Amino acid sequence: MKNQSRRNFIVENGKKLAGASVLSTVAPLTAQNAHAQVAPTSAESPVTRYDLDPSWPRKPEMFNWAGVPAIMTDKQGLVWVSNRTYPAMLIYDTDGNFIRAWDNPELFSEKGPALFRNKEEGPYNLHYFRFDDSGNVWIANTNRHIIQKCDLDGNVLMTIGTPDQAGEDNTHMYRPTDMTVTDAGVFITDGYGNRRVVQYSTEGKFIKTWGQEGTGPEDFIDPHAICHVNDRLYVVDRGNIRIKVYDFNGKLLDMWENLILPWPLIPTESGEIWTCGTTPIRLENYSDITGGRMQQDQMVMRFNTDGKILQMWAFPTCARNEPSPGSFNMLHGIAVDSQGDLYLGEAFNPGPQKFVCSNELAAKVEGEYR
């Protein structure tokens, strides 16, 4: 099937694809799901373990995986996976069953060089995405220099910024990376090309901006992600290896430094915040980080809203372009479901992975001196 006809098929028949033939990305589990594989025991460990579920997700044969910049769960508990090839968005349930997928020509540009693939084989770079309280999907369309508000089928409802034109004024952005929708408006990390946070109303009217390039407290090097919990904004200042905390007026309240080189920020319903990335690295050349050549480890961390680390977990590493189940080269997207299971995606290596959370002890733990 040619790419254009494939995309048209997705747009016109996305909901019908739920009945399509599916093929697991790797060999399926012997049990129906990974939760069932943990041996029952009366003991509970104080340390949470994460076990790979190699049967998740089951991908339709007609689709391919590329990098997965973002993963989110919606209010219905479905898992949305952003894909750096067509289709750009795939939706699954937590058991790995394919629900539907969508693409929309309005999401993609026909101008300029594509990121990672050409325009026939892969979309322009859709970066992080978020849901608002009304169930709309907001997408940071990095290569088109815009933020797009979409309905649940990918139809564009509103655009912030000027499509395909980079800039740093009230109507232009330069490769924005993320956004969070609040009662005070939409706060955007305009971070790959510019070094600032921009605030618009939820109707798309410019309100204010703050930040510039640098290493000082008010500066940014690559504001890469943003979220909010109550009336606080949390901003990843990735190049400065810190998370910064603001009020909705742009006043700096706190900085969490040298804990992790973070990529995303994912708040939970309980008010905690997850991120993933690598432990701090001295930056001699920032492209060594973004190019995936200096990933010494791959970490997941959970914080409270005051910056206290509540949990961390390290995953094995693998090389870029040499994916390995259970391992990562550059963690970029993370989601957590109601069971505490993790869904993780990489910037470059293809496909998402699910890890099942467990506090059960599979065997008796005995102390031993050596």
Which of 157, 231, 219 is closest to 191 using CA atoms?
Answer: 219
Q: In this predicted structure, which of 99-108, 216-225, 349-358 has the lowest mean pLDDT?
A: 99-108
User: Residue 252 forms beta bridges with which residues?
Assistant: 246
Q: What is the DSSP string of 172-191?
A: -BSS--EEEEETTEEEEEE-
Give Cα separations from 285 to 106, 288, 290, 292 (angstroms): 35, 6, 10, 12
Widest pairwise Cα distance in the chain: 66
CATH number reported for the structural domain that contains residue 116 in this entry? 2.120.10
Residue 187 lies in a domain: no
Residue 204 lies in a domain: no
Sheet containing 342-346: order of strands: 44-52, 353-360, 342-346, 331-336
Higher pLDDT, 2 or 213: 213
User: Percent of the chain at pLDDT above 90?
Assistant: 59
Q: What is the pLDDT of residue 119?
A: 45
Instruction: Decide if pLDDT at 288 tops 90.
Output: no
Q: What is the pLDDT of residue 124?
A: 53
Is-contact 227 273, C-beta < 8 A? yes
Chain segment 234-253, per-residue pLDDT in tens: 999 998 999 999 999 999 99
Q: In this predicted structure, which of 17-26, 50-59, 168-177, 345-354 has the lowest mean pLDDT?
A: 17-26
> Count of domains in the chain?
1
Tokens of 345: 């995606």
Higher pLDDT, 12 or 171: 171
Which of 259, 311, 275 is closest to 178 using CA atoms?
Answer: 275
Residue 231 lies in a domain: no
Confidence band for 370, pLDDT divided at 50, 70 and 90: low
Q: How far apart, in whole angstroms, are the C-alpha atoms of residue 283 and residue 278?
A: 13
Domain that includes residue 321, residue range: 3-175+238-360
Average pLDDT, the chain: 83
Q: How far apart, in whole angstroms, are the C-alpha atoms of residue 228 and residue 274?
A: 12
φ, ψ dihedrals at 287, nearest 5°? -65, -20
Q: What is the pLDDT of residue 320?
A: 86
Q: In this predicted structure, which of 21-25, 98-102, 331-335 has the lowest mean pLDDT?
A: 21-25
Residue 350 lies in a domain: yes
Tokens of 350: 């293809």
Confidence band for 294, pLDDT divided at 50, 70 and 90: low
Residue 61 lies in a domain: yes
Instruction: Decide if pLDDT at 217 tops 80.
Output: yes
Confidence band for 293, pLDDT divided at 50, 70 and 90: low
Q: How far apart, in whole angstroms, are the C-alpha atoms of residue 133 and residue 269?
A: 13
Is-contact 229 303, C-beta < 8 A? no
Confidence band for 296, pLDDT divided at 50, 70 and 90: confident
Residue 81 lies in a domain: yes
Chain segment 28-79, per-residue pLDDT in tens: 343 344 454 444 445 677 788 899 999 999 999 888 898 999 999 999 999 9
By three-state DSSP, how is residue 195 classified? coil
> ω before 57 within 30° of 0 (cis)?
yes
Compute CA 331 distance to the chain's CA centroid, rounded to the nearest angstrom: 9
Instruction: Decide if pLDDT at 112 tops 70.
Output: no
Confidence band for 285, pLDDT divided at 50, 70 and 90: low
Which of 282, 284, 260, 280 is closest to 334 using CA atoms?
Answer: 260
Confidence band for 348, pLDDT divided at 50, 70 and 90: confident
By three-state DSSP, how is residue 279 classified? coil
Chain segment 68-108, per-residue pLDDT in tens: 999 999 999 999 999 888 788 999 999 999 999 887 656 65
Q: What is the pLDDT of residue 282?
A: 72
Q: What is the pLDDT of residue 114?
A: 36
Residue 280 lies in a domain: yes
Is-contact 334 300, C-beta < 8 A? yes
Is-contact 93 77, C-beta < 8 A? yes
Q: How far apart, in whole angstroms, are the C-alpha atoms of residue 360 and residue 370?
A: 26
Confidence band for 174, pLDDT divided at 50, 70 and 90: very high
Residue 322 lies in a domain: yes
Q: How far apart, in whole angstroms, are the C-alpha atoms of residue 278 and residue 287?
A: 15
Chain segment 125-155, per-residue pLDDT in tens: 679 999 999 999 999 988 889 999 999 988 8
Residue range 338-365: average pLDDT? 88
